[in-house]
Structure 1
Amino acid sequence: MNTFQLTCFLTVAETLSFVKAARQLNVTQPAVTHQIRSLEEELNAQLFKRTTRAVEITQEGLIFLNDAKNVLNIITLAKKRFEEPVGDERQFFSIGCHSHNEVHLLPGILRRMTESCPTLYPLFQVVPFQHLYQLLEEGTVDVVTAFREKEQKKETGIYRELALVRMTGILPASHPLAEKEALDRGDLLTQRLILLDPQRCPDSLNAVQHELTTGRTVSDLFMCSSVDVCLTLVKAGFGVAIQPDFPSLRDPALAYIPIEGVEPLSYGAYYKSVTGKPLLKLFLQLCRDNFPVQPKC
């Protein structure tokens, strides 16, 4: 995946025309078509429906739209770091996350960082999983906070665990099951399950979701694009959401009940090296001492 592919995708999405996109980009139509096809092959998803009369963006294309914009913004900001006047004293620190929900874990950490570095300028990059690790490899982000992947490739970098996060069933506080100390598989079989779209969550969470949904019918499941959507459906009474439990992010209107027999997930930070990176070193130190989830014993 490269910036030209993303630019072609966004231009076609805006114009809904390969001809107009090629004209705007000052390239040939076959060149735009080739870039879109290459991108679709890499993502293993169809981004556009093409006929002789019209071009329509698919549901997969709509989902990828914000991701593509975010990736291009990240690259643009990275370039601008070196275009600013010499007098710019901002100290940029780029944090990669897989979901906007996880951003809410970090205000306390960043507040403490500014005590040591008043010119700190945090940048958040919320992009898909594989692309985020690619940005870490390229040095576009300084650190990625994420759940540890069981089959993570070595080239992703160094992983430092910050917390073990238990899996919970989330339901309205008034729900009959909210009084239980833990939910078993039998409890979950009586409820519709609200899950994150497998393309929008880590493999470790996907594995838990797959285990808990084996044998369930499609009508028993809701697939959501974000944690916020999951919680909205929970509040509306559509079922029980299966989510990792970050106590500092709990909604007081909901109950978070541990699920029996499901191992906690490791949550931590991926990075390449702290050598010559004082802000990264400070961030990791503060996370170790102040991360808002009970640390591993």
Structure 2
Amino acid sequence: MNTQQLECFTTLAKTLNYAKTAEQLSMSQPAVTRQIQSLETELSTQLFNRTTRSVSLTQVGFQFLPDAQQMLGLYYHSLEWISTFHKHKRTVLRIGYADSHANWFISKILSGVLADNENIVPELTLDQTDANLHRLTTSQLDLVLGIKDAKFTAEDIAFQKLHDDAFVCVMRKNHPLALACKKRRRKSVSSKDMWPYRQIIDIPPYLLKHVFSRGHHIVPVNDELDNILCATTSEAYNLALAGAGFALIPQHLTLPHKELIFLPWEESPHAPMGIYYRQQGGMDKNSAIYKFIILARECTKEAMPCHKQ
């Protein structure tokens, strides 16, 4: 199937006249007939009913018409996009990340990158870190933002640490724990402080069976309480806003909110948070990759501390 066949089919479906179709497409009438016949042969079906006096779509032809129009539309849209891309010398910057709440941090960095070069076209891929790292090694991504994976190794992939990430206790300002900390002028919480209260546990689905089924907890969990499991940080935020409990959120994923309070967890483990990138791309000081990493360092200094209460 080719575009000429589709052009002949869609035009004939509109005119229902071979002579008019040939005129509109600047082709001979026999050439139009050959294209229609070759398309019908390829699809193993008849698209038009033909008599000496009229042409009409068959039922199959009628149902195939929207698909044919869509295929042509996508083809010409791609041609125009590619032409514009080369004309303006656009550069695609492909960024992988593991949680939608990282968007605020990525956008903060990108605003500086785009201010220097408006022809950079960002493409964001939301997926698990291991899947994005595979894309990075196969050149499907340029950068992967997130927590360092201790099991990942690749000779041509480098990791730029931005800071040591920790968990932050997130809850409504009227939560009993938040009120107790305010009364005692506490600026952080301990595991003992959190223990009596229901927890909203944010843990990716692929870790659930490996963690809870074996009795291993990344964060302290009081199993005697009716805790809530959720799969994303967004879900944890929404439940915390609803007053369902407190949540321990990685620091780089905490978003300021007027109804929430953010208190560091005193016993929190720490893990390097940063950017994976291919070493070759990061060496060019004029590249979008290099600029993104430099601006990420600057943004981290401003954005990573816990939000002011």
Is residue 2:280 matched to residue 1:282?
Answer: no
Cα distance in 2, alignment partners of residues 145 and 226 from structure 1: 16
Q: Report the secondary structure of 2:87's partner residue.
A: coil
The structure-2 alpha-carbon separation of the partners of 1:253 and 1:289, relative to structure 1 and needing over 3 Å to count, comes to same
The CA deviation string for residues 163-192 of structure 1, in whole angstroms up to 9 with x for no partner, is 223311111111232123222222222111
Q: Is the 8 A contact 1:105 1:249 kept in 2?
A: no
CA offsets per residue over residues 187-231 of structure 1, 9 Å max, x none? 2221111112333689xx99xx814345624x5321112111111
Residue by residue over 1:37-63, the C-alpha shift from the partner in whole angstroms, topping out at 9 and shown as x without a partner, is xxxxxxxxxxxxxxxxxxxxxxxxxxx
The 1-side partners of 2:188 and 2:145 are apart by 28
Amino acid at match of 1:84: I
Which of residues 288, 294, 303 is equivalent to 1:293? 303
Q: Does the CA-based 8 Å contact 1:169-1:240 persist in structure 2?
A: yes
Alignment check: 8 A CA contact 2:190 2:265 kept: yes
Separation (CA, whole Å) in 1 of partners of 2:221 and 2:176: 24
The question of whether the paired residues in 1 share the 8 Å contact of 2:97 and 2:125 is answered with yes
Please give the alpha-carbon distance, in whole angstroms, between the structure 1 residues aligned to 2:206 and 2:258.
25
Q: Structure 1 length as normaliser, TM-score?
A: 0.62
Corresponding residue for residue 109 of structure 1: 109
Q: Which residue of 2 aligns with 1:196?
A: 202
CA contact (8 A) 1:105 1:248 kept: no
- Alpha-carbon distance between aligned partners in 2 of 1:100 and 1:247, rounded to the nearest angstrom: 9
After superposing on structure 2, the runs of 4+ consecutive aligned residues of structure 1 that deviate more than 6 Å are: none
Q: How many Å separate the matches in 2 of 1:239 and 1:155?
A: 43
Between Structure 1 and Structure 2, whose CA radius of gyration is higher? 2
The change in CA–CA distance for 1:87 and 1:161 in structure 2 (over 3 A counts) is same
Question: Equivalent residue of 2:289, what SS?
Answer: helix
Map of 2:3 onto structure 1: none
Identity percentage over the alignment? 19
Partner of 2:129: 129
Q: CA RMSD in A?
A: 3.1
**Pair 1:225–1:139, CA change in 2 (3 A):** same
| Secondary structure of 2:132 counterpart | helix
Cα distance, 1:117 vs structure 2 = 1.1
Distance (whole Å) between structure 2 residues aligned to residue 100 and residue 211 of structure 1: 21
For the residues of structure 2 that align with 1:270 and 1:160, how far apart are their CA atoms? 6
Q: Which amino acid aligns with 1:185?
A: S
Show the 5 A alignment for 1:90-169: 90-154=90-154, 157-169=157-169
**Alignment-derived partner of residue 51 in structure 1:** none
Where structure 2 has 5 or more consecutive residues not aligned to the other structure, the ranges are 1-77
